[in-house]
Structure 1
Amino acid sequence: MHTLLPFLLTMIAAIVLLNMWASQLKIAYPILLVIAGLLVSFIPGLPQVSINPDLIFFIFLPPLLFEASWTVSFKEMKKWWRIIGSFAFLVVFFSALTVAIVAHQFLPGFTVALGFLLGGIVSPPDAVSTGAITRFVKIPKSTSAILEGESLLNDASSLIIFRFALVAVGTGQFIWQQAALSFLWMVIGGAGIGLLIAWIFVNAHKRLPLDAQSHIALTLIEPYFMYWIAEQAHCSGVLAVVSGGLFMSARRLVFLNSASRIQSFSVWESFVFILNGVVFLIIGLELPEIAEGLRVEGIPLSTAIGYGVLITGVLITARMISSYAALLATIIFRPGVVPRARSNRRRWLLPLLLGWTGMRGVVSLAAALAIPITLDDGTAFPNRNLILVVTFVVILLTLLVQGLTLPYFITRSGLFDGLIEDESQKQARQKMKQGLKQHVYQFLKTKYENELNGHTGLEKFLNQWEERAKATDDSWMNEKTKAIFVELLESQRQYLSELNKDPKIDEEIIRQQLYQIDLEEERLKII
């Protein structure tokens, strides 16, 4: 323990430094993390880090999925549910099927079940990688919403494929009737359990006398409860966390106070950042052992890398085909919802962009590491080391090839130059600010008309409420005035919640303004 702890602390420090370096280079930090994971494997004398495969999912997946469900816009997901659903389920299944067929044909010793296992591992694109890469370029909100919604749901669909394939490999048989019933129970039961537990936690937050630190501590254990209880009921723990996270995210204004919302944002962002980095470095630490296992099995490392290149090509091709097939189907069957573009050239470039955003990441790594070392009968799990190498190569290539070229592709193609969405977003932001000003004025005039007369502080706030944070003299602020201001801020939140029902208003703009209101409320507490 005394030798392992300094090493773990060094890992976290390295992750922080890599993120700083990535920001300087203006590239996504997962790209440097996966390269660092590879380089770590060449360092001699490092302590061996071994994690029980059964614990991989439980340690890493719940918080990653929970945080993603809090950041995604559920309103945007509903708006683009058709294309999100097709990419999250149909495209994932098509990718897994394609990988299964190719693996069965070209990889030695791969049955169809083992091919589906590999397909389930490498089929879901990674939300963190895509978000980190697209941060350096401007893309329309609709496109980012599709990518975020897809990445949230495709983890569930791919891991369901992974679970069924794992059972098929272990038992040597696959009964379709039982699989169909199990699939329904995993989906319905998982979502139901997640919603039920989320409802319980929401009420616990509301009824218990918790401070900000206690609220945040409770949110840290909530995804683990959702995942564990769903898995105990043989449901999908992933769907439980996703559905529960979406339920709680939509009600964050109800059960969390301003201090909890502000502090939890930083805590969760740092927590998830460390988890992502640790997973990439863990695979690097296990690569020497994996390479030795390949040597014992008689598979040269260069051959395994070649298989990884093959599977990467299959995945990129399958996603490209799926993207254009989705656009064609939309044009034929739903022409009214075809994505708007200034020219046919840009319209046909959009599927190319969606197809090129299939970077793999931490979920694929966690799934590969979660493969048991042995089967139930004690025999070694077939081709486990080969699957791990192929997965790592897929992640490395998609991050390097697609990740490094995606910003250039977007900029060079001019696909999103002069977007109508950008202009409408500016108009929506202006509309929201103007509406808030009118709301503040009417609220004060209607409810506190008598208090306004002769009160220097409130009159100043009414006339210049946006400038009050710059005031150096706070002598006019008393407890009565502070209570009115807090009530006013809550009224603004209610106004923004109602405004968010407008489908034309970007939810991200609403969230940014709500965050500013939370900051203002916390500022009032220390005056």
Structure 2
Amino acid sequence: MHNTLPFLLAMVAAVVLLEMWATKLKIAYPILLVVAGLLVSFIPGLPVVKINPDLIFFIFLPPLLFDAAWDISFKEMKKWWRIIGSFAFLVVFFTAFSVALIANHYFAGFTLALGFLLGGIVSPPDAVSTGAITKFVKISRATSTILEGESLLNDASSLIIFRFAMIAVGTGHFVWHEAAMSFVWMVIGGAGIGLILGWLFVQLHKFLPTDASSDVALTLIEPYFMYWIAEQFHASGVLAVVAGGLYMSAKRLVFLNSTSRIQGFSVWESFIFILNGLVFLIIGLELPEIVAGLRSEGTPLGTAITYSLLITVTLIVARMISSYAAMVATILFRRSIASQVFRGRTSLLTPLLLGWTGMRGVVSLAAALAIPVTLENGLAFPHRNLILFITFVVILLTLVIQGLTLPYFIKRMSSFNTVFTVESDEETKREMKRGLKAHVYQFLKDKYDNELNGHVGMEKFLKHWEERTKATDDSWMNEKTKVIFLEVLESQRQYLTELNKDSKIDEELIRQQLYQLDLEEERLRII
């Protein structure tokens, strides 16, 4: 323990330093972390980082999924649900099927069940990698929502494939009708349990005498409860966390006050950053042990590399084919959507770019490491180290090759069509602020008209309410005006909530304005 703890602390420090370096170089930090972990792993004398396969999902996945569900706009997801659904489920199944066929045909001793196991592991693209890469290029909210929504849901579909493939490998047989019933229960049961628990947690926050610290602490453990309870009922823990996270995100204004929301944002941002950083470092650190396992199995390193390259190409090609199939289906059956997404002479390149956004990462590593060392009968799990090696190489190649080239492709295509064109938000922001000013003025006139007339403090309050911290003299803010100010802020939140029902308004702009209102309320509390 005394040797491991300093090493873990050094890993966290390395994550921070490498992220700063990556920002300076304008590349995605997961790329540097994986490469750094690989290089560090060759330093002699360092402790070996090992994680219990039974705990790998439980440690990393719940908070990562909960955070992604909390941040994404459900309104935008509904707008693009057909594309998101096709990529999150159909494309994942097609990719896993393609990998299974290739592995079963070309890999010595690889059964179809092992092929599906590998396919379930490497099929889902990673939201963290994509988000880190697109940070340096401007893409539209539609594109961002499609990529984030896909990554949020494809974790569930790929892990369902992974679970069924594990059963097939362990038992040697696969009953399709039982699998179909189990699949339905995992999807419906997982989402239902997540929604029920999300509702219960919201009620707990509302009725318990919590403060900001306890609110944030509860949100840190709630995704673990969602995942664990769903798994106890043999439902999908991933879908439980996603469904519960989406529900609680939609209710954040109901059960969290401004202090809890502000503190929670900072705590969760740091927590998720550390988790992601550690996982990507572990990806690099695991390689020497995986290679040693390959040698113990008698698999030549050159053969393993060839297999890995073949699977990587299969993943890229399968995603490209799926992207073009989605484009054709959209043009045939959803002409209104197709006119927004695929237009212009270069629209044929749009699926090519969507197909290139298939970097693998956290979920693939977690799934691979979760493969048990032995089967239930005590025999060694077949080709475990080869699967781990292929997964590592796939993550490394997709991160480095696709990750480094994706920003260039997006910049070149940014003027081609609406999917990769960033719409200007300035006019929307101006309209929203004008609407807020008119709403606040009318609110004050309707409720405090008599008190406004002839009251110097109230007139000054009405005149300067929108200037926020520009005011240097807060002596006019007495208890009466403070109460009214808080009512004004709450009224603005209600106005923005109603405004968010307009499908043309980007929810991210609404959330930014709500966050500013939270900051204003916190400033008011210390006056």
Aligned partners of 2:139 and 2:421 also within 8 Å:
no
Letter in 2 for 1:147: L
Are 1:478 and 2:478 an aligned pair?
yes
Per-residue deviation, 1:405:
0.5
The equivalent of 2:189 in structure 1 is 189
Q: How does 1:80-95 map to 2 (within 5 A)?
A: 80-95=80-95
Q: How does 1:229-268 map to 2 (within 5 A)?
A: 229-268=229-268
The equivalent of 2:495 in structure 1 is 495
The equivalent of 2:429 in structure 1 is 429
% identity of equivalent residues: 75
Cα deviation code 1:292-329 (max 9, x no counterpart): 11111111223212211111100000000000110011
Q: Quickly say closer, same or farther: Cα 1:339–1:296, change in 2 above 3 A.
A: farther
Q: How does 1:64-75 map to 2 (within 5 A)?
A: 64-75=64-75
The equivalent of 1:362 in structure 2 is 362
Letter in 2 for 1:374: T
Aligned partners of 2:114 and 2:165 also within 8 Å:
yes
Per-residue deviation, 1:429:
1.8
Per-residue deviation, 1:4:
0.8
Letter in 2 for 1:188: I
Alpha-carbon distance in structure 1 between the residues aligned to 2:457 and 2:120:
62
Per-residue deviation, 1:468:
3.7
Are 1:30 and 2:38 an aligned pair?
no
- Which segments of structure 1 move beyond 4 Å, counting only runs of 4 or more? 416-424
Greater displacement, 396-405 / 44-53: 44-53
Per-residue deviation, 1:283:
3.2
Instruction: Give the secondary-structure state (helix, strand or coil) at the position aligned to 1:90.
Output: helix
Per-residue deviation, 1:412:
2.2
Aligned length, in residue pairs: 527
Aligned partners of 1:30 and 1:129 also within 8 Å:
yes
Alpha-carbon distance in structure 1 between the residues aligned to 2:53 and 2:35:
23
Aligned partners of 1:66 and 1:241 also within 8 Å:
yes
The equivalent of 1:213 in structure 2 is 213
Greater displacement, 275-284 / 155-164: 275-284
Aligned partners of 2:258 and 2:521 also within 8 Å:
yes
Letter in 2 for 1:522: E
Per-residue deviation, 1:428:
2.1
Q: Quickly say closer, same or farther: Cα 1:79–1:349, change in 2 above 3 A.
A: same
Letter in 2 for 1:264: G
Instruction: Give the secondary-structure state (helix, strand or coil) at the position aligned to 2:480.
Output: helix
The equivalent of 1:284 in structure 2 is 284
Alpha-carbon distance in structure 1 between the residues aligned to 2:392 and 2:457:
62
Aligned partners of 2:152 and 2:242 also within 8 Å:
yes
Alpha-carbon distance in structure 2 between the residues aligned to 1:292 and 1:195:
44
Q: TM-score, normalised by structure 1?
A: 0.98
Per-residue deviation, 1:290:
1.5
Per-residue deviation, 1:287:
2.2
Aligned partners of 1:461 and 1:468 also within 8 Å:
no
Cα deviation code 1:475-494 (max 9, x no counterpart): 11111111110111011001
The equivalent of 2:296 in structure 1 is 296
Cα deviation code 1:260-290 (max 9, x no counterpart): 1111111111111111111122233332221
Alpha-carbon distance in structure 2 between the residues aligned to 1:195 and 1:4:
39
Alpha-carbon distance in structure 2 between the residues aligned to 1:177 and 1:418:
43
Q: TM-score, normalised by structure 2?
A: 0.98
Alpha-carbon distance in structure 1 between the residues aligned to 2:493 and 2:401:
44
Aligned partners of 2:138 and 2:422 also within 8 Å:
no
Alpha-carbon distance in structure 1 between the residues aligned to 2:376 and 2:341:
54
The equivalent of 1:225 in structure 2 is 225
Letter in 2 for 1:240: A
Per-residue deviation, 1:9:
0.3
Q: How does 1:420-459 map to 2 (within 5 A)?
A: 422-423=422-423, 425-459=425-459
Which structure 2 segments of 5+ residues have no match?
A: none
Per-residue deviation, 1:337:
1.3
The equivalent of 1:47 in structure 2 is 47
Letter in 1 for 2:229: I
Q: Quickly say closer, same or farther: Cα 1:367–1:324, change in 2 above 3 A.
A: same
Alpha-carbon distance in structure 2 between the residues aligned to 1:141 and 1:416:
16
Q: Quickly say closer, same or farther: Cα 1:193–1:417, change in 2 above 3 A.
A: closer
Letter in 2 for 1:445: K
Per-residue deviation, 1:417:
7.8
Per-residue deviation, 1:419:
8.2
Greater displacement, 351-360 / 460-469: 460-469
Per-residue deviation, 1:332:
1.2
Aligned partners of 1:138 and 1:416 also within 8 Å:
no
Alpha-carbon distance in structure 2 between the residues aligned to 1:342 and 1:219:
40
Per-residue deviation, 1:346:
3.1
Q: How does 1:356-435 map to 2 (within 5 A)?
A: 356-415=356-415, 422-423=422-423, 425-435=425-435
Per-residue deviation, 1:38:
1.4
Alpha-carbon distance in structure 2 between the residues aligned to 1:492 and 1:244:
27
Aligned partners of 1:91 and 1:319 also within 8 Å:
yes
